[in-house]
Every structure is written in structure tokens, then in C-alpha cells.
């Protein structure tokens, strides 16, 4: 059985798509998956499902949702040993135990992104680029796109997932740049600065890629776009490294292919948010 959260929530068993249809059952499963192999306490689940106005029957209703998930998994796995034990009751709440790391697309993505970072550090740029590209193919759209009106815990995790995706994109662009594939990065970088206009890192990489591809005028125009956006939106000038890059472009077009100043690095791998009363790992 496979679980996917990097897009609309999906539960797959072989070729069969068997995602729960009831909204709050999906919410319950989504939060358990985002905290897979850990306990999510009952109060946090109730807050997520009903906010500040839970019904008097909230505890009983939550127990019903857990029962429905257990029943569904048991039926899908033909009541195989341990099938109903994927969803565990463990004080102070509930958790989902995955048998394998690759049962959840998020775990695979985190693992492969980490591997891509390691390959990049080892200067294995081709392998790093391919590893990161494969990891990014796991994304099927906005994370948990079908979980509408989610509570603050799921919303916090969605922000985390989006940051993970941006990190992987940055790492892959760095690998491609190290391979000298500046021109091939330009279309993607143009799209990225359009969808993330305040992300100065993407702007900087676009400027450098254009310059290294021999498109000096477009690189200067890209810098002007960056400055205009930052001043208009935040009242800030571009970072010193990007100002220095602009000066280098204005003074000379020599050396850009190999000596453009570095303008930042991809962020370190983060950790899932710990908001709310989410507690420790599931007992073995």
C-alpha cells in the first residue's frame, strides 16, 4: 500500500486508487501521514478537524474515523496479519506505522533530496542533477491540494512541504550550473522568478545564467527587474552580492562564464513543523 501527499491525497493498493472519500476521514489520514511513525495526540486531531467549536461527540466521532481507516486498510490487504495495526491507538492519541520508508512519497522525496545534496557536495554533479530531477517528479501538484479548509497543523505542514520542494529545485539548478548548462536553466528560472518574485536566490541565478550564456543585456535587465520588485514590495535594495554582480556586468563581460560571484546557497534540509500537541514516536 502506498500513500501520496505531494499532490492530492492518494492511497494506492497495486493499481487500485482507494483514497477515503469522506472529508474529515481524509483530514485525519493526512495528519497521521504527515506525522508517520509518531503519535498525534487526540486533542490536536480534534482541534484540526473542528477548530474552536468541536461537537460534544468529537471524541466518539474521531474514534469512528479511526475505525473506518482500520477497516478500509484491513479490507484492502485481505485482513493480512498487521493490516489493521497500521493505525495504532497509543496514548495520548493515534499514529500510523509504515512498514517501509518508500510507502510514503514524502519520505522518498526527503531521502532523495538528501542524497542529491550529498552528491552535490561530492562534486558528482551529473548524478546529483538526475537524482534531484527524479525526486521532483514525485510531485503531482500542490501538496494535499484536495484538503480544503484544513486546520493550522496541516497548513503548517503544507508550508514545510513547499519549502522542501523549493530547496530541491535550488539544488538541481546548482548541479546544472556546475555542469555548465546555463542556457538550459534560463526558461525554468524565468518561470521561477515569476512564481516566486520575492525569492532573490532565483533572480540571482537567472542573472548569472544569462550572463554566462553570453546574454549580458538580458542579465542587466533581469537585475533591474529584481531591484524594482524588491524596492516596490519591501523597500529594500538587492543584496550586496547581487549589486556587485551588476557592477561586474556593467564594467566587463569577461570572466562571467566561470567567475560570477556566488549569491547564496540552497538551504539546509529542514524538519517538519512541531506545532501543536504532537508527541513522541510510536512504540515498537
Q: How confident is the model at residue 81 (pLDDT cuts 50, 70, 90)?
A: low
Dihedrals phi, psi of 78, to nearest 5 degrees: 55, 40
- In the predicted model, is pLDDT for residue 78 greater than 80? no
The pLDDT confidence band at residue 201, using thresholds 50, 70 and 90, is very high
Q: In this predicted structure, what is the pLDDT of residue 250?
A: 93
Least confident of 68-77, 89-98, 160-169, 229-238: 68-77
Written out in words, the top-level CATH class of the domain with range 9-100 is mainly alpha
Choosing among 3.30.70.260, 1.25.40.10, 2.60.260.20, 3.40.50.970, the CATH entry for 180-271 is 1.25.40.10
pLDDT of 249 over the 50 cut: yes
Q: Is the pLDDT reported for residue 216 higher than 70?
A: yes
212: pLDDT strictly greater than 90 = yes
DSSP 91-117: TTEEEE--SSGGGBHHHHHHHHHHHHH
**125 in Cβ contact with 179 (< 8 Å):** yes
Q: How many Cβ atoms from other residues are within 10 Å of residue 242's Cβ?
A: 23
For 212-256, where are the E strands, in sequence order?
none
Going by pLDDT thresholds of 50, 70 and 90, the confidence category of residue 79 is low
Judged against a pLDDT cut of 90, whether residue 180 lies above it is answered with: yes
d(CA 43, CA 67): 17
5: pLDDT strictly greater than 50: yes
pLDDT of residue 211: 96
Q: Quick check: 68 pLDDT over 70?
A: yes
Q: What is the mean pLDDT of the chain?
A: 89
Question: Which 3 state secondary structure label does DSSP give 27?
Answer: helix
Note the pLDDT of residue 41: 95
- Grid cell of 148 as nine digits: 480544503
Q: What is the mean pLDDT of residues 251-262?
A: 53
Domain boundaries, the chain: 9-100, 180-271
pLDDT for 274: 41
Q: Is the pLDDT of residue 107 over 50?
A: yes
Q: Do domains 9-100 and 180-271 have the same CATH topology?
A: no
Residue-level pLDDT at 148: 82
Given a cut of 50, whether residue 7 has pLDDT beyond it is yes
Q: Is the pLDDT of residue 179 over 90?
A: yes
Q: Which residue has the higher pLDDT, 255 or 78?
A: 78
Amino acid at each position: 500500500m502506498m500513500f501520496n501527499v505531494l499532490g492530492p491525497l492518494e492511497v494506492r493498493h497495486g493499481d487500485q486508487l482507494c483514497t477515503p472519500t469522506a472529508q474529515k476521514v481524509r483530514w485525519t489520514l493526512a495528519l497521521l501521514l504527515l506525522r508517520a511513525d509518531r503519535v498525534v495526540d487526540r486533542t490536536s486531531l480534534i482541534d484540526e478537524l473542528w477548530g474552536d467549536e468541536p461537537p460534544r461527540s468529537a471524541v466518539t466521532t474521531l474514534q469512528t474515523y479511526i475505525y473506518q481507516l482500520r477497516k478500509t486498510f484491513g479490507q484492502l490487504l485481505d485482513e493480512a496479519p498487521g493490516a489493521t495495526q497500521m493505525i495504532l491507538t497509543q496514548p495520548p492519541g493515534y499514529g500510523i506505522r509504515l512498514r517501509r520508508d518508500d510507502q510514503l512519497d514524502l519520505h522518498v522525496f526527503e531521502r532523495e533530496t538528501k542524497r542529491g545534496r550529498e552528491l552535490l557536495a561530492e562534486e558528482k554533479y551529473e548524478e546529483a542533477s538526475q537524482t534531484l530531477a527524479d525526486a521532483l517528479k514525485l510531485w503531482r501538484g500542490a501538496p494535499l491540494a484536495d484538503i480544503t479548509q484544513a486546520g493550522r497543523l496541516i497548513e503548517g505542514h503544507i508550508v514545510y512541504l513547499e519549502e522542501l520542494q523549493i530547496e530541491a529545485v535550488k539544488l538541481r539548478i546548482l548541479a546544472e550550473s556546475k555542469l555548465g548548462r546555463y542556457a538550459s536553466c534560463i526558461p525554468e528560472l524565468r518561470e521561477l522568478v515569476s512564481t516566486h518574485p520575492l525569492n532573490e536566490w532565483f533572480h540571482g541565478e537567472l542573472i548569472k545564467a544569462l550572463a554566462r550564456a553570453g546574454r549580458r543585456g538580458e542579465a542587466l535587465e533581469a537585475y533591474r527587474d529584481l531591484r524594482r520588485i524588491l524596492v516596490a514590495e519591501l523597500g529594500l535594495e538587492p543584496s550586496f552580492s547581487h549589486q556587485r554582480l551588476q557592477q561586474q556586468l556593467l564594467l566587463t563581460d569577461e570572466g562571467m562564464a566561470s567567475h560570477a560571484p556566488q549569491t547564496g546557497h540552497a538551504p539546509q534540509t529542514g524538519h517538519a513543523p512541531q506545532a501543536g500537541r504532537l508527541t513522541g514516536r510510536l512504540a515498537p
